[in-house]
Amino acid sequence: MTSMTLPLRIFGLSLVLPALAHCSGGGPEREAPAAMPAGFTYVDEVVPGVRTDLKYSGSDNFVGRPLAGYRGRRAILRTEAAQALRAAAEEFARHGCGLVIYDAYRPHTAMRDIAAWGRDSSDRKMRTRFYPRISKKQIFEHGYTHDISEHSRGVAVDVGLFDLKTGRDLDMGGHHDLLDPVSATDSGAVSPAQRKNRHLLRQVMEAHGFRNYSAEWWHYLLRDEPDKTLYFLFPVRDDMR
């Protein structure tokens, strides 16, 4: 990844953060108190029946441990994104499917944590499961992660589907955060049934205001988001009001 500076606002403060390759452990940010800012909500309070499996709250992710800022397991989004997700969930139910969330709002502190992990060339313990065909350096070079994330704006969500009758996850031809070309939504390396599941996910999500990131079948961004420059640091907790 080439070096550049990226202007952004965190809690209304104008900041300029260095690009990923130059992120440091310190910085002007300070983690906010455990309070949810106005305009955010727990997704399970808006979307009935949603299943939540926040991967960065545990160890089943490409870093192999909980990321900084994840202290709970309830998904959080901007209210507009949660409401759009509710409309999508209602349509999925008509197809016999439910929604499972792998990530939603992601504190910017987690992105700094990923940056620090990226600089540690000795830590490759999750490579076999999450990036088997690329090097750790290529995770950043290929754009699977960046120095900042739209997740930290509260308008991006990583989702999959499960069968409402059996409770089993629909087969998407690869798990969340498999950093590999096979994860592209239109990959020709998956079976017709797996591609059909991916396309159902995309069709319904896009019909309700989300846009898919083509390299990752699970990643969706709210098209009409309220503020594209404001990023947040408050932690993911289960007890905020």
pLDDT tens, residue by residue, 203-230: 999 999 999 999 999 999 999 999 899 9
* Average pLDDT over the chain, rounded to an integer: 89
pLDDT of 174 > 60? The answer is yes
Label residue 65 by pLDDT band (50, 70, 90).
very high
Per-residue burial over 108-145, b if 16 or more Cβ lie within 10 Å, else e, is: bbbbbbbbebbeeeeeeebbeebbeebebeebbebebb
Q: Are 151 and 103 in contact (CB under 8 A)?
A: yes
Dump pLDDT digits (tens) for 127-158.
Answer: 999 999 999 999 999 999 999 999 999 999 99
Integer Cα distance of 2 and 166 in angstroms:
47
Instruction: Give, for 95, the enclosing helix (H) or strand (E).
Output: none
pTM of this structure: 0.88
Joined together, the tokens standing for residue 207 give: 């019909």
Active-site residues, by number, are 216
Q: Is the pLDDT of residue 175 over 80?
A: yes
CA distance 1 to 145: 10
pLDDT computed for residue 134 by the predictor: 95
Question: What whole-number percentage of the chain has pLDDT above 70?
Answer: 86
Task: For residues 52 and 35, give the distance between their C-alpha atoms in angstroms, rounded to a whole number.
Answer: 21
Q: Is the pLDDT of residue 21 over 50?
A: no
